[in-house]
């Protein structure tokens, strides 16, 4: 595999850089770089900017309005944009859309895919439940057929950005015969439906990112079922390979490591820049080598014609290593800022904060980022579960 960019790739990289310079506002980039709270308008606005350029649905086929980028183009954009642009919210674009394209009806594709692109629908994911996280097959939310509707009762939890969502794609139990996986269906639900209640869960760093969602006799049209009844486990596994690859977050980790290097140049130990401390420099070098290897592996497997055949084990490998690297980078940043990693003022992350300074500006987002990213080795299927998947699929254990 040639790891050097082709002339076409270099031209595309220059195009991306010019686009970001022209279209990414300094105020929004500042919020992202310092881990300040992004509003729904910030995220929706960035999506609209990308969609106007035709760059929002980067891996969608052109027939559905996508850019149909190569894996190299996707990685170039991810590397460049992660340094200051908001992340692309993945639930509709990178998780639901591939499922609809492969398993959805023509009517579902025609209706929902354009609405994902133009921002009409903000999607969230209804998978995890109390007692059904990594062991997703034990979910208990029920959907009972009643004429031309399903009636849903139950609870979902850890629903990321559900407070903003117009729609939720859910795994629900529609059958009880056979193995637990055999009675699960995949259904699309309007969040404005009577009987839905959303309650916030406040995370360690004080932000409202995730939620509980309750369903009390929620009626959903039967045509909202994706694919066949009781076949949802197959669709869920297909979706999770996209989620886990996304969680690896190569571009975000590159941006975070670059920030650690900037902090190390500003902070000092024993009167010299922290970057010149041999022990700290060795730890940075170790993480950088691991990240370079992950980046190369990510690009190699995405470019391979055999990638789809082993997508489950590959996405599990990327998820494990990507999340561990990101947590290592967070820990380096926390150690680098010393006392500024102490408990922080959460209001300082909001726009317009005028209170007491909480340290140098570069330290502002370090503590909340560290605490928030404790979860990434757990969600999307815990890393322990991913190791089990690898053992079964690759080693046959």
**Which pLDDT value is given to residue 56?**
97
Q: Within this chain, do residues 37 and 136 fall inside the same structural domain, yes or no?
A: no
Q: Within this chain, do residues 255 and 370 fall inside the same structural domain, yes or no?
A: yes
* In contact, 83 and 30? CB cutoff 8 Å: no
**Domain contains 206:** yes
Q: Within this chain, do residues 333 and 267 fall inside the same structural domain, yes or no?
A: yes
Query: What is d(CA 247, CA 363) in angstroms, rounded to the nearest whole number?
Result: 24
Query: What is d(CA 124, CA 300) in angstroms, rounded to the nearest whole number?
Result: 30
Six-digit token string for 366: 């370090």
The percentage of residues in the chain with a pLDDT greater than 70, rounded to a whole number, is: 90
pLDDT tens, residue by residue, 159-208? 999 999 999 999 999 998 888 889 999 999 999 999 999 999 998 888 89
Q: Within this chain, do residues 62 and 178 fall inside the same structural domain, yes or no?
A: no
pLDDT tens, residue by residue, 51-63? 999 999 999 999 9
Q: Where residue 191 sits, what CATH number does that domain have?
A: 2.40.110.10
Query: What is d(CA 68, CA 169) in angstroms, rounded to the nearest whole number?
Result: 24
Query: What is d(CA 181, CA 173) in angstroms, rounded to the nearest whole number?
Result: 9
**Phi and psi angles of residue 330, each rounded to the nearest 5 degrees, phi first:** -60, -40
Q: Within this chain, do residues 161 and 252 fall inside the same structural domain, yes or no?
A: no
Which three-class secondary structure state does DSSP give residue 244? helix
Q: Within this chain, do residues 63 and 165 fall inside the same structural domain, yes or no?
A: no
Single residue among 88, 111, 140 that ends a domain in this structure: 88
Domain span at residue 19 reads 7-88
Q: What angle (nearest 5°) sits at the alpha carbon of residue 120, between those of residues 116 and 125?
A: 55
Q: Within this chain, do residues 269 and 362 fall inside the same structural domain, yes or no?
A: yes
Give the pLDDT band (50/70/90) at residue 120.
Answer: very high
pLDDT tens, residue by residue, 280-327? 999 999 999 999 999 888 877 666 655 444 456 777 888 899 999 999
Single residue among 43, 65, 88 that ends a domain in this structure: 88
**Domain contains 189:** yes
**Phi and psi angles of residue 38, each rounded to the nearest 5 degrees, phi first:** -90, 135
Q: Within this chain, do residues 360 and 265 fall inside the same structural domain, yes or no?
A: yes
Number of domains into which the chain is organized:
3
**Which pLDDT value is given to residue 308?**
47
**Domain contains 150:** yes
* In contact, 89 and 121? CB cutoff 8 Å: no
Query: What is d(CA 149, CA 187) in angstroms, rounded to the nearest whole number?
Result: 11
Burial of 232 (0-12, 13-18, 19+ CB in 10 A): buried
Q: Within this chain, do residues 214 and 295 fall inside the same structural domain, yes or no?
A: no
Query: What is d(CA 84, CA 68) in angstroms, rounded to the nearest whole number?
Result: 24
Alpha-helical regions (H) of the chain: 7-23, 26-33, 40-53, 71-81, 90, 97-103, 106-118, 232-247, 250-266, 278-303, 311-337, 366-372, 383-393
**Residue among 308, 202, 210, 299 at smallest CA distance from 248:** 299
95 C-beta neighbours (distance < 10 Å), count: 21
Residue with tokens 């929620």: 218
Output the 3-class SS for 340-352.
Answer: HHCCCCHHHHCCC
Q: Within this chain, do residues 83 and 172 fall inside the same structural domain, yes or no?
A: no
Residues 6+ apart with CB under 8 A from 392: none
Half-sphere exposure of 117 (CA within 13 A, CB side): 22
pLDDT tens, residue by residue, 348-357? 666 666 666 5
**Residue among 334, 281, 315 at smallest CA distance from 390:** 315
Q: Where residue 363 sits, what CATH number does that domain have?
A: 1.20.140.10
**Domain contains 253:** yes
What mean pLDDT comes out for the span 239-258?
A: 80
pLDDT tens, residue by residue, 365-376? 888 889 889 988
Q: Within this chain, do residues 272 and 388 fall inside the same structural domain, yes or no?
A: yes
**Domain contains 95:** no
**Which pLDDT value is given to residue 1?**
54
**Domain contains 297:** yes
Query: What is d(CA 114, CA 117) in angstroms, rounded to the nearest whole number?
Result: 5
Q: Within this chain, do residues 271 and 334 fall inside the same structural domain, yes or no?
A: yes
Predicted TM-score of the model (pTM):
0.87
**Which pLDDT value is given to residue 340?**
82
Residues, the chain? 397
- Encode burial over 283-318: b for 16+ CB neighbours within 10 A, e otherwise: bbeebbebbeebbebbbebbeeeebeebbbbbbbbb
**Phi and psi angles of residue 215, each rounded to the nearest 5 degrees, phi first:** -120, 120
* In contact, 145 and 222? CB cutoff 8 Å: yes
**Domain contains 2:** no
Query: What is d(CA 25, CA 125) in angstroms, rounded to the nearest whole number?
Result: 29
Query: What is d(CA 339, CA 359) in angstroms, rounded to the nearest whole number?
Result: 9
**Domain contains 262:** yes
């Amino acid at each position: 595999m040639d790891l050097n960019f082709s002339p076409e790739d270099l031209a595309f990289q220059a195009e991306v850089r010019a686009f970001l310079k022209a279209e990414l506002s300094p105020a929004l980039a500042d919020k992202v770089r310092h881990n300040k709270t992004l509003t729904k308008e910030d995220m929706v606005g960035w999506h609209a900017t990308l969609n106007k350029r035709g760059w929002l649905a980067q891996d969608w086929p052109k027939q559905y309005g996508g850019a149909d980028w190569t894996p190299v183009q996707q990685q170039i954009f991810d590397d460049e944009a992660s340094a200051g642009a908001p992340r692309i919210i993945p639930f509709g674009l990178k998780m639901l859309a591939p499922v609809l394209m492969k398993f959805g009806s023509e009517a579902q594709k025609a209706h929902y895919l354009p609405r994902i692109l133009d921002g009409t629908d903000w999607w969230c994911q209804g998978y995890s439940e109390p007692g059904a996280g990594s062991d997703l097959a034990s979910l208990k939310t029920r959907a009972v057929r009643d004429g031309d509707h399903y009636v849903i009762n139950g609870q979902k939890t850890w629903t990321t950005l559900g407070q903003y969502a117009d729609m939720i794609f859910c795994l629900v139990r529609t059958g009880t015969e056979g193995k637990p996986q055999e009675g699960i269906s995949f259904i699309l639900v309007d969040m404005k439906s009577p009987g839905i209640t959303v309650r916030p869960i406040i995370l360690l760093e004080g932000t409202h990112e995730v939620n509980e969602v309750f369903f009390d006799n929620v009626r959903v049209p039967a045509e909202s079922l994706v694919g066949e009844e009781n076949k949802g486990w197959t669709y869920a596994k297909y979706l999770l390979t996209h989620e886990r690859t996304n969680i690896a977050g190569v571009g975000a980790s590159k941006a975070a490591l670059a920030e650690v290097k900037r902090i190390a140049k500003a902070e000092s130990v024993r009167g010299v820049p922290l970057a010149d401390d041999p022990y700290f420099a060795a730890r940075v070098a170790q993480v950088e080598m691991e990240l370079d290897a992950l980046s190369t592996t990510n690009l190699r497997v995405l470019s391979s014609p055999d990638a789809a055949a082993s997508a489950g084990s590959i996405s599990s490998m990327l998820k494990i290593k990507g999340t561990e690297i990101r947590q290592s980078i967070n820990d380096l940043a926390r150690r680098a800022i010393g006392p500024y990693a102490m408990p922080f003022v959460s209001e300082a992350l909001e726009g317009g904060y005028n209170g007491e300074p909480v340290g140098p500006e570069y330290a502002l987002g370090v503590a909340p980022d560290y605490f928030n990213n404790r979860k990434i080795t757990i969600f999307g299927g815990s890393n322990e579960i991913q190791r089990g998947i690898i053992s079964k699929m690759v080693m046959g254990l």
